Structure 1
């Protein structure tokens, strides 16, 4: 998980009596879902349906099937309703993690829209919208 929260729309924190804590995050793109702890899922729904995926699949999975308790959930940032370019990579070619759209990425010499890996921070410039 990264140290900044600009990309996070909503967070759910769960605990378990014998397992470690679990955090589920929905990113502002309404597609990317990450689970820290538990089974460590990390994926993009690809259809803007991240919240329903969390509410109908992940929360019941961890609460009802695996015995976790939801202790807190809160909004972090509003959803990003800006349409994203169609050139999103399926995943990072370096480490396989999902990518996030950064409209004003700056690499020291160039600034512009880019898809950045959420793990290793690999990047690919976007053609734009």
Structure 2
């Protein structure tokens, strides 16, 4: 992480029984998520991404040690518009491992950017449907 936290809105600290620790920071832009430690890279997606990371790590045996507010979020001049509603056809579970799937309206990867259903287990961050 960095020596200053002017850009951080909220921080979550997680610990694993083997002694490893992870820090997840949501930045004041309400979009950027930084992960220090663990298996996931920094991402965009705001609180929804943080919630998915917390659920994934909790399911893998991590426990939340502490979470705390650091700074207020940046106020937007215009109200943020909600994304389009989730399209029909959500898979009930991942076809590969059977884990639950989540909808991400603005998912981005090396392949492209757009709406996707993502597996919370084996294929975290991968397109399930095109």
Both structures adopt the same fold (TM-score exceeding 0.5): yes
Q: Secondary structure at the match of 2:57?
A: helix
Say whether 1:80 aligns with 2:106.
Answer: no
1:53-92 mapped onto 2 (5 Å cutoff): 53-55=49-51, 57-64=52-59, 66-83=60-77
* Greater RCO (CA < 8 Å, at least 6 residues apart): 1
CA distance in 2, matches of 1:74, 1:54: 13
Please list every run of 5 or more consecutive structure 1 residues that lacks an aligned counterpart in the other structure.
Answer: 84-129
Aligned structure 1 segments of 4 or more residues deviating by more than 6 angstroms:
none
How many matched pairs?
78
Say whether 1:35 aligns with 2:35.
Answer: yes
Number of the residue aligned with 2:12: 12
Q: Secondary structure at the match of 2:10?
A: strand
Aligned-residue RMSD, C-alpha: 1.6
Deviations 1:35-65, CA, capped at 9 Å, x for gaps: 11101411223xxxx012211x10010011x
1:34–1:40 CA contact under 8 A, matched in 2: no
Give 1:82 deviation, angstroms: 3.8
Q: Secondary structure at the match of 2:9?
A: strand
Please list every run of 5 or more consecutive structure 2 residues that lacks an aligned counterpart in the other structure.
Answer: 78-130
CA distance in 1, matches of 2:19, 2:43: 23
